[in-house]
Amino acid sequence: MNSADTLQRFSFDNTDIRGEVAHLNASFRDVMKRHQYPAMIAIELGELMAATALLSANLKFAGRLTLQVRLPGNVSLLQAETSEKGELRAIARYDDSVAVEELSFDNGQMVITIEPEEGQRYQGITAIEGGNIAKAMEEYFEQSEQLASRFWLECDGENAAGFMLQKMPAMESSDVDAWDRLTHLASTLKQEELLQLNNDVLLHRLYHEEEIRVYEPSDLKFFCTCSKPRLATALMQLGYDELDTMLQESSKIEVNCEFCQQHYSFDRAQVDELFPQRNPH
């Protein structure tokens, strides 16, 4: 039995290397049951969710981390988000009139956005030359953060999991061969091992000859941040005149959250409440 819906950190004594392992089972399926994505898109989105979960360990403050893969083909966007509490959601945008037979990462972009509730927003963008999400993540950290990183991401359409090793800067290490050795061992991971084994068994199988330190896991879960007040704020950006026109065409403004498919509606009285300084005609 795997370590369901958790994120767990580990490190190696006498080295400057740390790692994370994430499992997304119910949280991945909670996203998938809200969308009828083609199998290939679902698998790629699962890998992106796993990558996002791995990065959530870096959120030391209240806020959100968003990971986007922007592509020029008929699948234009894969996006996953997490909070510092491991609350995940994800979405894909694609042309459903075209059969999705393959997904190319050529000439795409990897975009990482960190939005603290208090403080300055950060965004990093890296060109994707090809490969897959794991390769794009490695290139991002190499180019934007100057951190040697390796990612192993898997999804079988039911469960998703991720494994990351990262070499931290400005730390003394007495084990100069550690990076090559530890990444080589991780490269022997099979899909079924990463998806199905619990972390204790997985880490022992890989690193039973290493001095490894394993930390308490944290929970991961699906959670959508949408709410009627949030959508009301978004509608206000359109302005009263635009909303008034929409209400003349229909008695209510209907809105669906694209992440969780929750339905919201606003009638004229509710729209008027958003603009208390205006006296509608």
Tokens of 50: 């796993």
Question: In whole angstroms, what is the distance from residue 114 CA to residue 267 CA?
Answer: 35
pLDDT of residue 170: 62
Domains of the chain (ranges, CATH numbers): 6-222 (3.55.30.10), 228-274 (3.90.1280.10)
Confidence of residue 117 (pLDDT cuts 50, 70, 90): confident
Q: What's 261's DSSP letter?
A: -
Q: What type of residue is 130?
A: G
**Contact call for residues 8 and 217 (beta carbons, < 8 A):** yes
**Contact call for residues 159 and 28 (beta carbons, < 8 A):** yes
Mean pLDDT confidence for 240-269: 84
Q: Is 274's pLDDT higher than 90?
A: no
pLDDT of residue 146: 81
DSSP strands (E only) in 73-159:
75-83, 87-94, 108-116, 122-128, 149-155
Q: Is 279's pLDDT higher than 60?
A: no
Q: Is 168's pLDDT higher than 70?
A: yes
Q: Name which of 2, 11, 51, 60 is nearest 150 in CA terms.
A: 51
Q: In this predicted model, what pLDDT tens digit does every residue of 174-194 receive, in sequence order?
A: 677 899 999 999 999 999 999
- Percent pLDDT > 70 in the chain is 95
Burial of 184 (0-12, 13-18, 19+ CB in 10 A): exposed
Tokens of 188: 């022997």
Q: Is 154's pLDDT higher than 90?
A: yes
In the chain, the largest separation of any two C-alpha atoms, in whole Å, equals 77
Confidence of residue 101 (pLDDT cuts 50, 70, 90): low
- The model carries a pTM of 0.85
Average pLDDT score, the chain: 88
pLDDT of residue 275: 85
Confidence of residue 245 (pLDDT cuts 50, 70, 90): confident
Q: Is 169's pLDDT higher than 80?
A: no
Mean pLDDT confidence for 52-59: 89
Q: In this predicted model, what pLDDT tens digit does every residue of 16-51 receive, in sequence order?
A: 899 999 999 999 999 999 888 999 999 999 999 999
Q: What's 23's DSSP letter?
A: E
Question: In whole angstroms, what is the distance from residue 56 CA to residue 219 CA?
Answer: 11
Mean pLDDT confidence for 231-258: 85
Long-range Cβ contact pairs of 127-132 (< 8 A, separation 24 or more): 128/69, 130/104, 130/105, 130/106, 131/105, 132/47, 132/105
Q: Name which of 110, 146, 112 is nearest 129 in CA terms.
A: 110
Q: What's 85's DSSP letter?
A: T
Within 10 angstroms of residue 261's Cβ, the number of other Cβ atoms is 12
Mean pLDDT confidence for 157-167: 96
